[in-house]
């Protein structure tokens, strides 16, 4: 069979050589057309959920959830993080109002804390004890509120504080409230002295129940208008949102941080990261392989010929992808960089041997004929075996990597035919090329390797045996966020959602047809240890409403009277008078704490009174509006809940959504696994981010094992059908198994788990690694009676092929997309181990085989 393949290749290459420059020009013109076609027709889809077989049960449930509640996938979320509660609320309110006016960009806007319904009825969602404490606290401040409504100046404010401090023992204004006010006020005075914007937080100071900590967070959900004529349908709306937040950030003195996240924003930034990373990786890999080709050939012309062939391969393969696939995913988009490494292998082996024969004084025809005899069969075997490795994912449920397999598998075959066609045709241009003069440096390296190959091979095999003990720790990370750039705003915003148990994005969801079913399920799972809370629409109807409404009516009397005061009806004392009055009181009453600190700061406030007044009363109008609004609470039923909330838990088709929130941080795969298992035991028909991550991990892990087995088995059968010798096939495959074990163990040690992107490593390792084994084994059989395989150009070709592959794959590590970067990391590790196993372990096996053969001959009569 190998002889037949050799004759076919020899005839094909000779025809190409005779066609010469004309054929080469035709190929270049075709490549130009293919490149244009690919550039105008090839797109990228960043939806990772579409990378798995849509017929899988958990995929079908995920689709059902998205269809019932499309906002889960379509909404853009703005995470607002401000240093004070008043700023967070005001910013969220302003952003909500602006987006409601941008009807060309958004169909709906939902800001929970800023919705008129919740601002009016918010007190009903407190426990009775919390409500009583809140009303008591606010009532104590009613005198101060009334005074400031009549005269909103710092003179009045400081005078009132001095008077109330003196009356604090009679509970006109409680000590606790005063301490809160002084702490907040001291921070504002300190910033004002430095001429900085630092608004006074009235809600944070007057209402202990509203204080969260160092920062306050609000969310705004916006449903974008999707333009499906664009590669990213939500891009226009997101750009509008970015412009609005930038404008508001300036209005708020850049004190408020905003993060635009949600599925559309994550996908947009991921696409930007992937395309930027792939572009940089492609450029870097081309530069690195160009340098390596110059070192390999020591001939600019040969290096240029190889690179031109590579560009032709890339354009033909891109056109194939555009015609037969049409849309790349976040994994298959890396095919260009992969082919930079893989597409060069055929050319390096072919041209290096041609160069060797030309250097010996032979013409192009003779050099080509001898090269086809020496490496033609190996090249013919290497193409299909690498393609088999890529195609091994096609039978699995992992559609995303199967797409890469189809494209890259076709690319490898295209690279083979481009090499054996374009390179012979272009040889006509090399008639007057100078002959390469070997320096003997590479040969010296391989001579040194041959002397230590035995001990190194034994050590490598022993290391592989030890690595087997790490195999149970190999894991797959199905967290989609693990693929993304952690420093991108959308990812930072997404991670902030985990800070609040109510907004955790990794949750479980279930759909039922009736409210009774939803309530029953909630009762069954709410007691599970791994469940923090269960949310469904009836939960937004407060308990004990009659009692709470009575408390509000009874407890808000003094506050209502204060709020009815006529705004600006009193001029109030001069600013300096009020400052002096408060300072005198503080010096008498406080020797430490917030009161003493405020007193010291007031010593240096002179000249900064104007900015101090601006800071103190920046959000005073919003406070008064909110206080008036929340006293208008009324009875709530499911039907009176805002539509923006109802449509998130009750679909148009009448399906009720149950959200199950985890108690632990399910970004840890162990916590995720336990959470899903516990809930699934009670509610089997689950969906949601947490369930998708776990089931995707199981599916892709199985796909990786299945594809690895298919690749190994199919390649073994293919090789046996061609060489018909079990010992030869074993020699070719043994280094690959060893390299696969070492690669997996290294991933464990370096904490590089398998993920959506790098899962192709093991099957690809088998496909790439077997090529080197094929070249060495077949070449060794040709030269057994001579100087051995190290005395030929084959090890040099294997060595530089591996280096160009590592340079190509390694460039992916610089990608800002972590999935692409991890693919580069693990592939580089895999190729490095393959190089060791083929160039050291395999030749050592050759020597052992020769020694055994010699001993058998010596014992035979």
Q: Which of 578, 607, 629 is the last residue of a domain?
A: 629
Reduce the DSSP state of residue 509 to 3 states and report it.
strand
Name the pTM for this structure. Answer: 0.79
* Cα end-to-end span (Å), the chain: 34
Q: Let me know: does 107 contact 218? Beta carbons within 8 Å.
A: no
What Cα–Cα distance (Å) separates residue 721 from each residue in 159, 381, 744?
A: 98, 11, 30
Residue 823 within any structural domain of the chain: yes
Which residues touch 603 (CB under 8 Å, ≥6 apart)? Answer: 583
Q: Is residue 170 part of a domain?
A: yes
Residues 814 and 706 in one domain: yes
Looking at the structure, tell me whether residues 328 and 404 fall in a common domain: yes
Q: Is residue 163 part of a domain?
A: yes
Query: Any residues with CB less than 8 A from the CB of 842 and at least 6 apart, and which?
Result: 731, 734, 735, 773, 776, 777
Domain match, 190 and 301 both:
no
SS3 per residue for 72-138: HHHCEEEEEEECCHHHHHHHHHHHHHHHHHCCCCEEEEECHHHCHHHHHHHHHHCCHHHHHHHHHHH
Residues 592 and 708 in one domain: no
**Would residue 835 count as lying in a domain?**
yes
**Distance (Å, whole) CA 285 – CA 405:** 21
For the chain, what is the domain count?
2
Task: Choose one of 602, 629, 656: the last residue of a domain.
Answer: 629
- CATH no. for residue 701? 1.20.1640.10
**Is the domain of 709 the same as that of 615?**
no
Q: Are 457 and 845 in contact (CB under 8 A)?
A: yes
- Shared domain for 417 and 281, answered yes or no, is yes
The answer to whether residue 251 is domain-embedded is no
Whether 730 and 587 map to the same domain: the answer is no
Q: How far is CA 845 from CA 90, 445, 603, 848, in A?
A: 74, 19, 87, 5
Whole-angstrom Cα distance, residue 616 to residue 605?
A: 14
Residue 187 sits in the same domain as residue 321: no
Are residue 452 and residue 313 in the same domain, yes or no?
yes
| Cβ-count burial 6-26 (b if 16+ within 10 Å, e if not) | beebbebbeebbebbeebbee
Contact of 795 with 348, CB cutoff 8 Å: no
Q: What is the pLDDT of residue 172?
A: 47
CB 400 within 8 A of CB 329: yes
In a domain, 471, yes or no: yes
Which candidate, 732, 828, 846, places its Cα nearest to that of 789? 846
In this structure, are 468 and 340 located in the same domain?
Answer: yes
37 lies in some domain: yes
The confidence score (pLDDT) of residue 188 equals: 92
Burial of 3 (0-12, 13-18, 19+ CB in 10 A): exposed
Instruction: Report the alpha-carbon distance of residue 222 to residue 68 in Å, rounded.
Output: 18
Residues of the chain predicted below pLDDT 70: 1-2, 46-50, 167-177, 206-214, 228-231, 330, 431-454, 722, 775, 779-793, 842-861
Torsion of CA 722, 728, 730, 736, to 10 degrees: -80
- Residue 740: domain span: 2-49+268-288+297-429+442-480+693-853
Question: CA 238 → CA 74, 106, 219, 242, 264, distances in Å?
Answer: 12, 10, 16, 6, 8
What's the CA gap between 113 and 241, in Å, rounded? 19
pLDDT in tens, 738-751: 888 888 899 888 88
* DSSP letter assigned to residue 837: I
Residues 698 and 581 in one domain: no
Whole-number Å distance between alpha carbons of 236 and 601: 48
CA angle 404, 406, 408 (to 5 degrees): 60
Tell me: do 600 and 697 sit in the same domain. no
Provide φ and ψ at 779, rounded to 5°.
Answer: -70, -35
Q: Helices 818-836 and 794-810: crossing angle, nearest 10°? A: 160
Q: For residue 709, what pLDDT is reported?
A: 86
Residue 236 in any domain: the answer is no
Please report, to the nearest 10 degrees, the dihedral formed by the alpha carbons of residues 354, 355, 359, 365 taken in order: 30
Q: Domain end: 594, 609, 629, which one? A: 629
């Amino acid at each position: 069979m190998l002889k037949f393949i050799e004759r076919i290749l020899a005839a094909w290459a000779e025809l190409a050589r005779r066609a010469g420059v004309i054929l080469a020009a035709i190929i270049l013109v075709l490549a130009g057309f293919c490149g244009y076609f690919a550039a105008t027709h090839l797109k990228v889809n960043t939806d990772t959920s579409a990378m798995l077989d849509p017929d899988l049960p958990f995929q079908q449930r995920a689709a059902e959830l998205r269809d019932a509640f499309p906002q889960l996938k379509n909404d853009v979320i703005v995470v607002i993080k401000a240093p004070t509660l008043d700023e967070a609320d005001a910013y969220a309110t302003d952003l909500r109002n602006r987006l409601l006016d941008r009807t060309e960009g958004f169909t709906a806007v939902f800001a929970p804390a800023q919705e008129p319904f919740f601002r009016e009825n918010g007190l009903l969602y407190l426990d009775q004890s919390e409500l009583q404490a809140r009303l008591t606290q606010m009532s104590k401040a009613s005198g101060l509120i009334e005074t400031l409504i009549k005269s909103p100046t710092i003179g009045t404010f400081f005078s009132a504080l001095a008077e109330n401090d003196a009356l604090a023992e009679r509970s006109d204004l409680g000590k606790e409230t005063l301490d809160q006010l002084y702490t907040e006020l001291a921070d504002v005075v300190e910033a004002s002295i430095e001429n900085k914007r630092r608004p006074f937080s009235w809600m944070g100071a007057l209402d202990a129940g509203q204080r969260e900590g160092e920062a306050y967070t609000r969310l705004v959900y916006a449903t974008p208008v999707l333009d499906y004529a664009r590669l990213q349908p939500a891009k226009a709306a997101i750009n509008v949102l970015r412009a609005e937040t930038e404008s508001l950030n300036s209005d708020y003195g850049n004190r408020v941080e905003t993060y635009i996240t949600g599925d559309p924003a994550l996908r947009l930034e991921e696409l930007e990261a992937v395309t930027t990373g792939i572009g940089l990786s492609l450029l870097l890999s081309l530069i690195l392989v160009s340098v390596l080709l110059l070192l390999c050939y020591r001939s600019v012309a040969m290096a240029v010929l190889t690179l031109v062939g590579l560009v032709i391969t890339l354009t033909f393969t891109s056109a194939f992808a555009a015609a037969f696939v049409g849309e790349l995913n976040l994994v298959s988009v890396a095919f260009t960089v992969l082919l930079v490494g893989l597409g060069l292998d055929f050319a390096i082996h072919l041209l290096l041997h041609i160069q060797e024969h030309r250097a010996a004084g032979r013409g192009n025809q003779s050099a080509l004929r001898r090269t086809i005899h020496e490496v033609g069969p190996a090249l013919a075997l290497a193409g299909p075996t690498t393609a088999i490795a890529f195609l091994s994912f096609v039978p699995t449920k992992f559609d995303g990597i199967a797409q890469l397999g189809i494209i890259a598998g076709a690319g490898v075959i295209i690279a083979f035919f481009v090499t054996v066609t374009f390179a012979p045709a272009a040889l006509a241009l090399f008639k007057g090329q100078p002959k390469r003069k070997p320096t003997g440096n590479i040969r010296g390296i391989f001579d040194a390797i041959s002397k230590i190959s035995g001990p190194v091979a034994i050590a490598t095999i022993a290391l592989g045996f030890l690595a087997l003990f790490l195999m149970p720790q190999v894991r797959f990370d199905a967290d989609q966020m693990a693929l993304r750039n952690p420093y991108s705003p959308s990812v930072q915003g997404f991670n902030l959602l985990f800070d609040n148990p109510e907004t955790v994005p990794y949750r479980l969801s279930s759909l039922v047809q009736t409210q009774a079913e939803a309530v029953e399920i909630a009762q069954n799972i709410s007691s599970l240890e791994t469940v923090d809370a269960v949310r469904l629409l009836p939960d937004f109807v407060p308990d004990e409403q009659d009692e709470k409404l009575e408390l509000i009516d009874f407890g808000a009397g003094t506050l209502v009277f204060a709020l009815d005061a006529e705004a600006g009806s009193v001029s109030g004392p001069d600013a300096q008078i009020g400052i002096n009055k408060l300072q005198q009181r503080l010096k008498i009453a406080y020797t430490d704490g917030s009161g003493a600190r405020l007193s010291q700061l007031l010593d240096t406030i002179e000249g900064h009174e104007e900015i101090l007044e601006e800071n103190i009363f920046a959000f005073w109008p919003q406070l008064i509006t909110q206080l008036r609004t929340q006293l208008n609470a009324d009875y709530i039923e499911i039907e009176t809940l805002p539509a923006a909330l109802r449509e998130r838990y009750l679909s148009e088709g009448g399906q009720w959504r149950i959200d199950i929130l985890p108690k632990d941080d399910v970004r840890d795969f162990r916590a995720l696994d336990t959470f899903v298992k516990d809930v699934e035991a009670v509610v089997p028909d689950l969906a949601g981010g947490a369930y998708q991550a776990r089931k995707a991990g199981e599916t892709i892990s199985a796909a990786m094992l299945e594809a690895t087995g298919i690749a190994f088995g199919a390649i073994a059968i293919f090789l046996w059908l061609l060489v018909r010798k079990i010992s030869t096939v074993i020699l070719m495959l043994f280094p690959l198994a060893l390299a696969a074990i070492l690669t997996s163990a290294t991933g464990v040690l370096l904490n590089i788990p398998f993920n959506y992107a790098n899962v192709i490593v093991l099957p690809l390792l088998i496909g790439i690694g077997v090529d080197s084994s094929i070249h060495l084994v077949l070449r060794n059989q040709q030269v057994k009676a001579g100087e051995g395989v190290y005395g030929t150009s084959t090890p040099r070709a294997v060595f530089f092929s591996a280096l160009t592959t590592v340079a190509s794959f390694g460039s992916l590590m610089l990608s800002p997309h972590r999935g692409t970067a991890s693919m580069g990391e693990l592939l580089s590790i895999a190729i490095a181990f393959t190089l060791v196993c083929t160039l050291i372990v395999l030749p050592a096996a050759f020597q052992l085989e020769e020694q055994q053969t010699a001993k058998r001959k010596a014992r035979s009569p």
